[in-house]
Structure 1
Amino acid sequence: MAIELPDDLIELERSAWTAIQAGTLTVETAEKVQAAITAFAAESGELRLAVETELKRQVRHPEAASDAA
């Protein structure tokens, strides 16, 4: 069962993924994404690693995310 991720977290990861692909990811951006993942995991009761894994799957492999839905 997929974790329901908020749109703002998905957009933050999408922005970071774009920066990674362009070679322009900053430490500040990476820290912001990790802080948001940690905060969401704490609020939702999900494991932080599970949140991060699902987030990356949805952003980096959207075809797999739509297949699971």
Structure 2
Amino acid sequence: MSAIDFPDDLLALERSAWEAQQAGTLTSEQAAAVQARVTAFAAEQGLDRYQVEMELKRAVRHPESD
């Protein structure tokens, strides 16, 4: 499990973006929406944005390692 407790909306955004990336259909708008939510969440929680992004990607792309 990730050390960060991600909200469901952020996990859903990242999952959708990851699926789109794998399918070759990721849009810049979709990527920007994820980035904006990551940035907002990091600021809300007082966390480093880079660390939030890395943990989020790990939680979505490699859930078995949690």
Normalised TM-score (structure 2): 0.95
Which residue of structure 1 lines up, in the alignment, with residue 15 of structure 2?
Answer: 14
* Divergent runs of 4+, >4 A: none
Separation of aligned partners in 2, 1:7 and 1:49: 19
Aligned residues: 65
Normalised TM-score (structure 1): 0.91
State the identity as a percent. 66
Q: Which has the higher contact order (CA 8 A, sep 6+)?
A: 2
Give the counterpart letter for 1:27 in structure 2: S
Structure 1 alignment gaps of length 5 or more: none
